[in-house]
Structure 1
């Protein structure tokens, strides 16, 4: 078993058969919910810079990393968390991480109003190379996200600007850097347990160590890293908006035996105030798959804004932090 590999170059450059790429994306999202994107045009040296700086950060003493701990980020939920500090399926993950997003000044009206997940990033004092590498990466990933949803719109029979006119005109952008410390044996829990992502699209860069697994129709399959390629997957929100035509597919991460692994997931999601509504699609939707989902929940109930939805989801990942930051 393997994921489809799609050259997304025409979507990025605006040259070539964009309609054909849209059809390939559509087929992959309906069948697998995952794909491997190549031809994106992002300089591999950019990822190399990010990888080096991130490894230098995670190698710091915990006391120094704690200077940018998430407990200092308040309602913005930014900063570092230690191994075991994030929950998946109510279990602690064997990973540490750095949470980032759109970098907003404390004077921004959204920050002053206390809007969750909005605020300044917490930048460590060292390595000094980390901040510019992250900012360059987020800029590149944002452009790629816009290109990809344009292709998805074409694949769904909509015009290429359908998402950009409203849903992703001002997208919610979240970036994570995860470090999976080595374990002595493969039976020592999960780096990340089985789950699906919350939002629209996830664009994942991996280092050269494997670990990602996707649950296909015939069982779990490895997704080995490929140089110059990104793994792209459908999130719950896109599954919901397409009435289940696109699959938000469960995935998990095996612990890294004997090596330290880094991954760089970028979440390209609807705007915070965007109303969640079904897309104007033709044809009958497949049956609700709530009974077979990993969390036994239905994705068909569409109501409210994306911000309301995301706040509730993230609160489950960091329950103690959520309680602390929302306490009056």
Structure 2
């Protein structure tokens, strides 16, 4: 019996599936050996011009001197790894509802997709995590997640305020973008795949958020589409990767010459509807003045 078959922590689908399928977009070229040079920003000495250039040119940058204690990240990594190594049935039973939910096959919790992503993880709602009911429910993991997400909120606010100054956003506009209670925290594990040519760890996508902050281990695997080609982003110990989400692609969330007016609540509802109907997130294209044809 091989390692994959013997691992009771894997979702059953991962233990039985051997089908071949390659959902890599046909219009792009995958270059496994190509590495993307990512701009490096120092959070303690943040250069507004470099931040603006990084957002406009690539929409991705590496952050150093960010103030997240290495010990905190290590403890959170270790505990999350232990939780995800538990038997599949145990994870389903323990994290089926509440502030922390277990998912597999897609980061869109409880929804099905047309292409199975070869991953599993924990989805944490920060708004629900802050409630008193979750204090005893999730124990050490909750405490570590709360402490870690406080750092993420600090970093997000610092970066966003700098960008907002550059965009001349007023207080009302800034408040419409960021709210810690609407934030989410996810932990991903990518199980061993017997058919790496047949599946993706995660399908090609954009993030629905304003900002996504990624804390990688030393294994890596992040790839970015740039100028119609896929590039590897090599992990650098002690740094964070910051990626601009869909909601940072406009000058204003509610008003735009490119997109019809919409709220954050409407955007998130549309994302869920897209995944339910099509199996993929259509994203901002749904809010363009001319909506995309989903029948093709």
TM-score, structure 2 length as denominator?
0.71
Q: CA deviation at 1:220?
A: 1.2
Structure 1 pair 196/89, CA: closer, same or farther in 2 (3 Å)? farther
The answer to whether the aligner puts 1:276 opposite 2:286 as a matched pair is: no
CA distance in 2, matches of 1:88, 1:6: 37
* Other-structure match for 2:281: none
Q: CA deviation at 1:64?
A: 1.1
The answer to whether the aligner puts 1:302 opposite 2:280 as a matched pair is: no
| Contact kept in structure 1, 2:221 and 2:233, CA below 8 Å | yes
| Contact kept in structure 2, 1:22 and 1:154, CA below 8 Å | no
Unmatched runs of 5 consecutive residues or more in structure 1? 11-17, 109-118, 244-274, 279-284, 286-299, 320-328
State the superposition RMSD in angstroms. 3.2
- Choose from 29, 50, 64 the match for 2:90: 64
CA distance in 2, matches of 1:57, 1:67: 12
CA distance in 1, matches of 2:210, 2:216: 20
* Other-structure match for 2:58: 32
The answer to whether the aligner puts 1:133 opposite 2:148 as a matched pair is: no
Give CA-to-partner distance per residue, 1:195-254, whole Å, 9 cap, x none: 111121111111111111001126211011111111111111111x238xxxxxxxxxxx
Q: CA deviation at 1:44?
A: 1.1
CA distance in 2, matches of 1:8, 1:211: 24
* Other-structure match for 1:81: 103
| Contact kept in structure 2, 1:153 and 1:161, CA below 8 Å | no
Structure 1 pair 182/50, CA: closer, same or farther in 2 (3 Å)? same
- Choose from 157, 172, 195 the match for 2:182: 172
* Other-structure match for 1:151: 162
The answer to whether the aligner puts 1:92 opposite 2:119 as a matched pair is: no
- Choose from 193, 201, 206 the match for 1:196: 206
| Contact kept in structure 2, 1:150 and 1:160, CA below 8 Å | no
* Other-structure match for 1:230: 240
| Contact kept in structure 2, 1:84 and 1:92, CA below 8 Å | yes
Unmatched runs of 5 consecutive residues or more in structure 2? 1-35, 278-296
| Contact kept in structure 2, 1:89 and 1:195, CA below 8 Å | no
CA distance in 2, matches of 1:191, 1:170: 28
Structure 1 pair 23/91, CA: closer, same or farther in 2 (3 Å)? same
The answer to whether the aligner puts 1:214 opposite 2:214 as a matched pair is: no
CA distance in 2, matches of 1:81, 1:121: 19
- Choose from 32, 43, 51 the match for 2:77: 51
Quick check: which one's strand share is greater? 1
Structure 1 pair 216/42, CA: closer, same or farther in 2 (3 Å)? same
Structure 1 pair 56/90, CA: closer, same or farther in 2 (3 Å)? same
- Say how many residue pairs are matched: 241
Quick check: which one's helix share is greater? 2
Structure 1 pair 89/123, CA: closer, same or farther in 2 (3 Å)? farther
CA distance in 2, matches of 1:197, 1:105: 22
Q: CA deviation at 1:84?
A: 5.7
